[in-house]
Structure 1
């Protein structure tokens, strides 16, 4: 949602090339067939081929800016760990992000992860090309964020969004979905199925929402990040201690572009 201009001035300058497609029967979801599949696991100590660390400043004229720093991305303990270091008091909050070094146009992307308990950050899993070509699953870790207080339960819930194709945030397509009680201590599967006519959001294989408005229609990379901007409507105050978004595995079924 807010602040997701990201560092795609850098990304767009890259010559993005998709890996060679591999046909797979598992790439069929809800009658849709995707041409390629990729799985990222994090058993080693280095980022798998196909993922890159973001770097760059994301300016925010109204609240705190954030800077994606490669040092905040680590592979250890069987997880990709995206960290927002705690105790930051400056005008720029050091954050973390990775993205695919290939473009996709439509697909089914599943992320097995443990979301952040520490208040003050946004965990994002999303397709992004521009601020008006984006579909995402987001977790706001601070219960006092006004975005969480506006949820049906008045507490922390998963947030699903198609950013408005006209670029007007007021026209975003947005929904809330309940989060598991152990969302910050156990691995769960978060999934977006993106086709030409809809985006569908799943939790642990169960459909939560279907959106048919503002569906992205261009190719771009997939992104995972953890960041803060101090906005009381969004991440609220930056974390006082390290806030870590832990990703165990990613499966992608997609059309290369």
Structure 2
């Protein structure tokens, strides 16, 4: 960055960047949050236009400037399950499966991928490329679509009447290749965030479903990649999930301190609906499932601005395994939510520092923030009592602290 010597106030303004408006598709209706841990009465539901910063909870509590929310639960007008395309070029050339995925509301933030791994297979050097694929894989927008929720009610599943639809990311094995799905953030400038999805993974062994941040290595070299992963392998037991700060291997073998294979807390299984959360903050990445801490890794935590990605894939390599012909696996997502900072110059700073502090963790309504503190005063307090953890005097102090921290991490 070119403005290393600036005032603390300027850092507070310039370092907090992002997309202002939450993005809830037409026809969606927020429902009670399945993961809310709010115990503070009187917090007011608000809009992102009224929030100048967001405070996250739990062990990685931090401050972020912007919020986005994509809700796939009430999108019946877009329901269509496209057939699996049998030709690799048809997968590459496939259009979006509905008008929502080609709308500005979606494409301003996400891009469906259509790249293939042909070049990586030709390179044939996993120590450099990070791939030991044995199967040609093609990403396709045709594998990203909206589907009716036909669940039978279960212990950890959300009632069908409340969530009639969800987004699907599909990967399927054909005779000659694997067709897969990936979305990448249009911006590569995310620098620290808390990203969440309410999702499940189902289907055949031999697939990976993932939510992650990614910054490519210099000249695409594996040893300089910066990446934090939440990955589910469908050949693993349904009680296990993988967390990693990449790279997790090199020419000398595995790097054990970079990765953890963890039992999902709370007795959950990845083929049940669950709330997955990944917090990337300076010096660490922390993962939660349904609000419970699952793992923290400080080793080689990402440092620089990155993209955010979701995918469902297989390439016949060591990591994914080889899916049987005609097999398929699916990442099904009810919603995606993020609070974040972004270093892109195109993002305008929010005025007001942290005067209107909001939370997406203490809200009773998924995707809708609550106002925690406004104009130096905590929401829900009377004149004599303040038990919110943010006193009437603390908001300016928090703003100063945030500014100082951002001054340090920005440069």
Smaller-chain TM-score bracket: 0.7 to 0.9
Q: Which has the larger radius of gyration?
A: 2
Distance 1:118 1:112, change over 3 A: same
Instruction: Give the distance between the partners of 1:242 and 1:31, measured in 2 at CA.
Output: 38
Note if 1:71 corresponds to 2:160. no
Residue 184 of structure 2 is aligned to residue 99 of structure 1: yes
Distance 1:133 1:167, change over 3 A: farther
Tell whether the 8 Å contact from 1:142 to 1:156 is kept in structure 2 after alignment. Answer: no
Tell me the distance in 1 between the aligned counterparts of 2:235 and 2:213.
24
TM-score by length of 1: 0.79
2:245 aligned to which of 149, 153, 162 = 162
Question: What's the Cα RMSD here?
Answer: 2.5
Shift of 1:83: 0.6
> Secondary structure in 2 aligned to 1:216?
coil
* Partner SS for 1:161: strand
| Alignment TM-score, normalising by the size of structure 2 | 0.51
Structure 1, unaligned runs of 5 or more = 1-16, 149-154
Tell me, in whole angstroms, the C-alpha distance in 1 between the residues paired with 2:186 and 2:313.
20
**What SS does the aligned partner of 2:305 have?**
coil
Partner of 2:67: 37
**Counterpart for residue 203 of structure 2:** 117
Q: Verify: 1:234 aligned to 2:327, yes or no.
A: no
Q: How far apart are the structure 1 equivalents of 2:285 and 2:208?
A: 21
CA separation in 1, counterparts of 2:268 and 2:321? 22
CA distance in 2 between partners of 1:99 and 1:24 (Å): 26
Instruction: Give the structure with the higher percent strand.
Output: 1
* Correspondent of 2:278 among 192, 217, 238: 192
Q: Distance in 2 between matches of 1:166 and 1:177?
A: 18
The residue correspondences of 1:132-151 to structure 2 (distance < 5 A) are: 132-143=225-236
| Secondary structure in structure 1 of the residue aligned to 2:142 | helix
Q: For 1:169-188, what aligned pairs fall within 5 Å after superposition?
A: 170-171=254-255, 173-179=258-264, 180-184=267-271, 186-188=272-274
Q: Which residue of 1 aligns with 2:296?
A: 210
Q: Tell me the SS of whatever aligns to 2:301.
A: coil
State whether residues 84 and 244 of structure 1, in contact with CA within 8 Å, keep that contact through their aligned partners in structure 2: yes
Label 1:85 to 1:214 Cα distance change in 2 as closer, same or farther (>3 A): same
User: Alignment length, in residue pairs?
Assistant: 227
Among 116, 126, 129, the residue aligned to 1:57: 116
**Runs (4+) of structure 1 moved beyond 6 Å?**
165-169
Hey, what's the Cα distance between the residues in 2 that align with 1:247 and 1:177? 21
